[in-house]
Structure 1
Amino acid sequence: MPTIGHIGRYALKYKIGAGGLGTVYAAHDPLLSRLIAIKTLNLEIAPEEREAFNALFLNEARAAGGLSHPHIVTVFDAGVSDQSAYIAMELLKGRDLRQLRQEGWRPTPVQAATIVRRVADALAYAHSKGVIHRDIKPANIFMVGRTQPRVLDFGIARIAHQHDGAGDVAAGSPYYMAPEQARQQPVDRRADVFSLGVVLYELLTDKKPFRGSTLSEITTAVIEHKPPRADEVDPSVPSALAEIVARAMEKDPEHRFRSARALSRELRHWLEENAQNSAPDSLPPDAAANAPQRRKSAVAIAAGLVIGLLAGLGWLTLSGGERPPATAAAPAPVVVAAAAPAASVAAPAAAPAPAPAAVPAEPAATAASAAPEPAAAAIAEPPRETRKPAAAKPAPARKRALRARAGPPDRARAACALPSAPGAMSRSTEPPWARRRR
């Protein structure tokens, strides 16, 4: 980017704008390697006044540089060169309120109240540091977006007007200055409150409250003329908001808001009561532009929560379905081999066994050895209606199963033959002497 000049250590790159008090350039800071804004003061200073002016300028610049607020432009540096005095500040993208209004933009009541409330917060902070602006007007309110103001030129008006010989009292632009400024009386923080009230009036009605073709006529109007209320000029202006504007523009400082903080508080209360009831088209453009993005973010978050919930339910279902096998065996017939010639009776504890059936020896032995040890021990005992879940010692059952596997085939076949009723014996298991006797 070509350089069009130098001031101090800064290389001027291009001209941003010009006003009655100075010119603003985009400049490069070689020390910190960044782009900044340089405002030069277009003042003709006599050589004998140079020292006093330099002291005043640096003092005001030092006070402005000590302000750190989200709605006040940040001052990086200040200095005096052979050509003029300059202030280095942050480079912002946007336009001031004067330019926006000249382009035809008119804010809604909610937007206007939001802008002025934030400017009032910035002024309240500056007042707490002992700094009074004295020249609040649309050209000194730089807009980043539509509802993010930055207040410019703290102390510049005082420097310029003191240099002109008017002293501290006449600093300010004629359309926005307070009556005590027009009368050249001492001013305090309530002068900034009056000027900010005029800005709000103009934003709401699109008209200046004080008019005149000459400086004298404008000054007379500021001192004597009482403008109509904002809701009388434009019926769409809310009555409560018009009342706040009228109080801020009171001629007598004692009847105004006592501070910028009090004005900000009233505007905040009005916004809390009316912002949520405003129509969707009254939202600030930056908020309206970000609304679809916020909705997309909300949908994405909701979808993520649903997916996480379904995954959790699926995991619980899978983990819950894999239950360990029950320790109690189902009431199935379990064969217990008896060592004695007489066959032992094995039947479920719940009901008598069905009709007797002959089972081959080898499967019977396998079934006896494969049966769960606690179940075999439980059936070996007499059936009970209620019994404790504690299982008997498994060693005897294992021994009986081994004996049954090692026993002769006729004993296994005798054990597998189940009688139809307790105490009855099958014909095939009767001893020979019993059949001969019968």
Structure 2
Amino acid sequence: MDKLGHYRIEATLGQGAMGVVYRATDERLERTVALKVLSLSLSSEERAEYAARLQQEAKSAARLNHPNIITVYDCGDIDDHAFLAIEFVDGKTLQSLLASGVKISPAKLVKLAGQLFGALAYAHEHDVVHRDIKPANLMLTPDGRLKITDFGIAQLPTSDLTRVGTVVGSPRYMAPEQVEGKKLDGRADIFAAGIVLYEILTGKRPFDGEHVATIAYRILHETPEDIRSINPDVPEWLAELVMRCLEKDPANRFQTAREARSALREQASTAAVVGGNGSGNGKPAEANGGEAAPKASKPVVEESTGGKRNLLPWLGLGGVVLVIALGVGLMGRKPAKPATTVVEAPAAAPAIEPEVLPPPGASGSLPAQAAMPMQQNVAADAPPPPSKMPIDPNENARPKADSEQDKAAAKKAKTKGKTAQEAAPAAEPPKPLEHHEPPPPPPKKEPEKKAPVEKQDDRSLLERLAGCTADGQCPKSKLPPKRDR
């Protein structure tokens, strides 16, 4: 076939039991399309049934406008050839990539799963159930975008053309309720998506067999092998999410594809904060269904129009160095000592100097004979008071020359008083005391009471015995007569 209506056929892209897919050019709009045409080998009844389903599916898919869903351009029947013109995707199917041995990392899988769940959520919210999610119906573009194809013969949207009891789809990717011919909803597509993710992570299908009956039995009754036992590099949270999609009971799966995408986002974000991103390579996962998740910003040096490089990395490096310097300075700083209050001790009372009388015979001083009683105030080791000394009966016979001895004794007492004054230890200067609390105030000194001054007889004992008056006049002594021997 070279041409169908205004579509010029250029190459064959694929062929199945129910039809052929061509790459063609729309001559009216001058754009490349993928043209799906029903096989002429079908019986008239089969052709009529699948033509009605193809047209119904085309109407449903035409309502879907999502970046991860193939776009439907046209449908019709030309010369008994039912056809469907859809968007041409320059890429490869996931099935061809897996068959060629391409390994998809868990981080890349998280991105693809986010796009897949996002596209299914959009379709389910518009009452479209794909019913045939499998690697052959998932296209990958060179820029990494996923496209869901084949909203066509093998799968039908929710409509009156889908009858309960009819089994439609690929056996290895069917949900348990789909195998049993029950009424389906979006949870059947979630189960099929779980099978695809399981196959990418482990390299094997969870339910496989040589016969359709064997595959159907395993889907209904057997639990797939643990993902991490096959591929230990898969994060635990990702393995648990895929296994939840493969629950036998639809009530135990994610109830909507949007819920599955939200759980994928949340788990990927938590894993990225805790340990890289939990997806195996430390890169942030994009799990937002076609919308690129915000990636961690990296310092990039770009060439500007003037040829200068961006200074942002250098500014960041300078900030790091500044923070490190401040930290080292704070670590080397000694802790401040607690402030102490220095309280000076109260000044010592001034030392009482001994009273020193002028020398005998000086102006305003006592006579030499009256200087003896003052010695008991000058030195502590002065002789006892004269009143307690024994009286010599021959003392009256001493000559007046003894007054010269009195003067010498008074002078000696004066000198001894000065020596005692100089030998007295000087008061030590007050030392500062450290107290955290002020000391109690010093006790108040009571004024000293002066004893009443009594008039005393200033005459010395010698003067009184000699009969001297108070003004210092003494009678002349008489020499005793010489005795003849």
Q: TM-score, normalising length from structure 2?
A: 0.55
Residues 210-225 of structure 1: pairs in structure 2 closer than 5 A = 210-225=207-222
- The answer as to whether partners of 1:141 and 1:152 remain within 8 angstroms in 2 is yes
Distance 2:92 2:107 in 1: 20
- The answer as to whether partners of 1:158 and 1:168 remain within 8 angstroms in 2 is no
Counterpart of 2:257 (choices 260, 270, 285) is 260
Relative to structure 1, the CA distance from residue 303 to residue 22 in structure 2 (aligned partners, 3 Å threshold; closer, same or farther) is farther
Give the secondary-structure state (helix, strand or coil) at the position aligned to 1:170. coil
Confirm or deny that 1:133 pairs with 2:133. Answer: no
Confirm or deny that 1:303 pairs with 2:300. Answer: no
Distance 2:50 2:17 in 1: 18
- Aligned-pair CA distance for 1:192: 0.3
Identity %, equivalent residues: 36
Counterpart of 2:21 (choices 8, 13, 24) is 24
Give the secondary-structure state (helix, strand or coil) at the position aligned to 1:193. helix
Q: Name the aligned partner's letter for residue 251 of structure 1.
A: K
Partner deviation per Cα, 1:93-123 (whole Å, 9 max, x = no partner): 1101000001111111111121112111001
Distance 1:88 1:254 in 2: 37
- The answer as to whether partners of 1:71 and 1:119 remain within 8 angstroms in 2 is yes
- The answer as to whether partners of 2:92 and 2:140 remain within 8 angstroms in 1 is yes
- In the alignment, which residue of structure 2 is the partner of 1:247? 244
Confirm or deny that 1:36 pairs with 2:36. Answer: no
- The answer as to whether partners of 1:114 and 1:271 remain within 8 angstroms in 2 is no
Q: Name the aligned partner's letter for residue 237 of structure 2.
A: A
- Aligned-pair CA distance for 1:13: 0.6
- The answer as to whether partners of 2:164 and 2:182 remain within 8 angstroms in 1 is no
Which entry has the higher C-alpha Rg, 1 or 2?
A: 2
Relative to structure 1, the CA distance from residue 242 to residue 280 in structure 2 (aligned partners, 3 Å threshold; closer, same or farther) is closer
- In the alignment, which residue of structure 1 is the partner of 2:200? 203
Relative to structure 1, the CA distance from residue 20 to residue 266 in structure 2 (aligned partners, 3 Å threshold; closer, same or farther) is farther
Distance 1:174 1:7 in 2: 33
- In the alignment, which residue of structure 1 is the partner of 2:357? none
Residues 156-305 of structure 1: pairs in structure 2 closer than 5 A = 156-158=153-155, 169-274=166-271, 276-277=276-277, 298-300=302-304, 303=308
Q: Name the aligned partner's letter for residue 303 of structure 1.
A: K
- In the alignment, which residue of structure 2 is the partner of 1:434? none
Counterpart of 1:82 (choices 79, 82, 85) is 79
Relative to structure 1, the CA distance from residue 21 to residue 138 in structure 2 (aligned partners, 3 Å threshold; closer, same or farther) is farther
Unaligned runs of 5+ in 2: 286-294, 313-485
Greater helix share, structure number: 1
Pairs aligned (count): 294
- In the alignment, which residue of structure 2 is the partner of 1:405? none
Give the secondary-structure state (helix, strand or coil) at the position aligned to 2:171. coil
Confirm or deny that 1:118 pairs with 2:115. Answer: yes
Distance 1:240 1:229 in 2: 13
Give the secondary-structure state (helix, strand or coil) at the position aligned to 1:157. coil
Residues 393-412 of structure 1: pairs in structure 2 closer than 5 A = none
Relative to structure 1, the CA distance from residue 30 to residue 295 in structure 2 (aligned partners, 3 Å threshold; closer, same or farther) is farther
Partner deviation per Cα, 1:3-48 (whole Å, 9 max, x = no partner): x511232110111222344322110111001221112233644446
- The answer as to whether partners of 2:22 and 2:35 remain within 8 angstroms in 1 is yes
- The answer as to whether partners of 2:244 and 2:252 remain within 8 angstroms in 1 is yes
- The answer as to whether partners of 1:110 and 1:271 remain within 8 angstroms in 2 is no
Give the secondary-structure state (helix, strand or coil) at the position aligned to 2:205. coil
Residues 345-424 of structure 1: pairs in structure 2 closer than 5 A = none
Q: Name the aligned partner's letter for residue 259 of structure 1.
A: T
- Aligned-pair CA distance for 1:167: 6.2
- The answer as to whether partners of 1:111 and 1:283 remain within 8 angstroms in 2 is no
Give the secondary-structure state (helix, strand or coil) at the position aligned to 1:37. strand
Distance 2:132 2:242 in 1: 18
Calculate the aligned-residue CA RMSD, in Å.
Answer: 3.1
- In the alignment, which residue of structure 1 is the partner of 2:61? 64
Confirm or deny that 1:14 pairs with 2:11. Answer: yes
- The answer as to whether partners of 2:24 and 2:32 remain within 8 angstroms in 1 is yes
Q: Name the aligned partner's letter for residue 213 of structure 1.
A: E
Distance 2:40 2:246 in 1: 32
Distance 1:119 1:213 in 2: 29
- The answer as to whether partners of 1:113 and 1:200 remain within 8 angstroms in 2 is no
Give the secondary-structure state (helix, strand or coil) at the position aligned to 1:263. helix
Relative to structure 1, the CA distance from residue 213 to residue 25 in structure 2 (aligned partners, 3 Å threshold; closer, same or farther) is same
Distance 1:22 1:282 in 2: 42
